[in-house]
Amino acid sequence: MIVLCILLAMLSLFLLLKLIYQRKMVRKIKKQIDFLTDRDTQTEIMVEKTDGPIQDLAASINHLLKKYRGMRQEIERSDTLFRDTITSLSHDLRTPLATANGYIQLLQEQDLTGEQKEYVMIAGERISAVKLLLDQLFEFARIEADELKLNCRNTDIHSVLRDVVASYYGDFEQKKCVPHIVIPNSPAIIWGDPDALTRIFSNVVYNALVHGEGNYQITAALEEAQTVITVKNASSSIQQEDIPHLFDRFYTTDQSRTKKTTGLGLAIAQRLVTRMGGQISASLQNGIFAIQIVFPIVNF
C-alpha cells in the first residue's frame, strides 16, 4: 500500500512537472509568434527536441507562418505592381487628354448647331471625368506608396473648411439647394497639412453633391479636446450594407455607377485623415447619409 502511494505520488509529480514544462514551452512559442508575425524574416519557431507533441505543434505553426509570409509577399508584389501601373498610366494619358480637351475648347468656339453643341458638351464632360479619375488614381497610388509627403503644422481646420465649402457654392446653386452650414468663427487648431485637409473636405463635399438628394448639412463643432466635422445629405443610392465598404478603393454602390464617381474620393480622404491622426466614419440613419471627421485639438 505504501509502495502504491509512493508510485502515485511520483507519477503525480512527474505529470505536474510535465504540465509545467509544456506550459512553459507554449508560452515560449507564443512569445516567438508575437515577435515573428509582423517581421520580414524567415526565422522559424524553435523548441527543445524533448517533447513530441510540442515539436509537432511548432512544426504546424512554422508551416502556417511560411504560408502567411508567402501570401504577404504576394500581396506586396501585387500592390507594388498596381501602384507602378497606375503611375505609368496616369503619366501616359495626361498628354493625349490635354490635347483632346484643347480640341473640345476649339470646337466650343465654332458656330455649331444646338445638337452639335450638346455633343461637344458631353464629350467635354467625359474628358473631365477621365481626367478626374486619372488624377485620383495618381494621388491614391502616391498615398499608398507613402510618396505623398505631408507638411503638417498648426492649422485652423475651421478656416480650411469654410474655404472649401465656399468653393462649391456654384455647385450647390446648380442643384438649386442651399446647404445648412454651421462653422464656428472661432479657430480650431489641429496638427495637419492644409493642402491635405483641403483635399479631404473637397472629396467629401463632392461625394455629397454627386450622391446627395437634398437636405445638405455641413457642420463643425468642438467636443471636449477634438473638433468634429459632419457632412450630411439625403440619399437613396446608399444602403446600410454599403457603409462598411465606402472607404475601400474603387468601391461604388450599385445605383451610383453611372454617375461621375471613381470610388476613390472617400478612400483618399480616409487615408489622409488617418495619416494626420484623425478618424473618419460613415453612417446611414432614416435615409440621411453622414460622413464624420474627427481631429484632436492642439493645446486644448
CATH 3.40.50.2300 fits 153-296, yes or no: no
Is 182 in contact with 219 (CB distance < 8 Å)?
A: yes
For the ranges 11-15, 112-116, 144-148, the lowest mean pLDDT is seen at 11-15
Confidence of residue 15 (pLDDT cuts 50, 70, 90): low
Confidence of residue 45 (pLDDT cuts 50, 70, 90): low
Is 227 in contact with 295 (CB distance < 8 Å)?
A: yes
What is the average per-residue pLDDT within 221-229?
91
Confidence of residue 275 (pLDDT cuts 50, 70, 90): very high
The dihedral sign for the CA sequence 193, 197, 198, 200: positive
The per-residue pLDDT for range 163-174, each reduced to its tens digit, is 999 999 888 888
The per-residue pLDDT for range 206-217, each reduced to its tens digit, is 989 888 888 899
What is the average per-residue pLDDT within 196-202?
94
Output the pLDDT for position 282: 93
Output the pLDDT for position 258: 47
The pLDDT mean for the chain works out to 80
What is the average per-residue pLDDT within 39-51?
65
- Between 66 and 197, where is the model more confident? 197
Q: Measure the CA angle with vertex 13, ends 9 and 14; round to 5°.
A: 115
Q: Where are the domains of the chain?
A: 1-148, 153-296
In the predicted structure, residue 249 carries a pLDDT above the cut 90: no
Strand, helix or coil for residue 190: strand
Is 150 in contact with 275 (CB distance < 8 Å)?
A: yes
Output the pLDDT for position 202: 92
Length of the chain: 300
- Between 254 and 101, where is the model more confident? 101
- Between 137 and 169, where is the model more confident? 169
- For the question of whether the overall pTM of this predicted structure is more than 0.75, the answer is no
The per-residue pLDDT for range 138-171, each reduced to its tens digit, is 777 777 777 778 899 999 999 999 999 999 988 8
Is 204 in contact with 266 (CB distance < 8 Å)?
A: yes
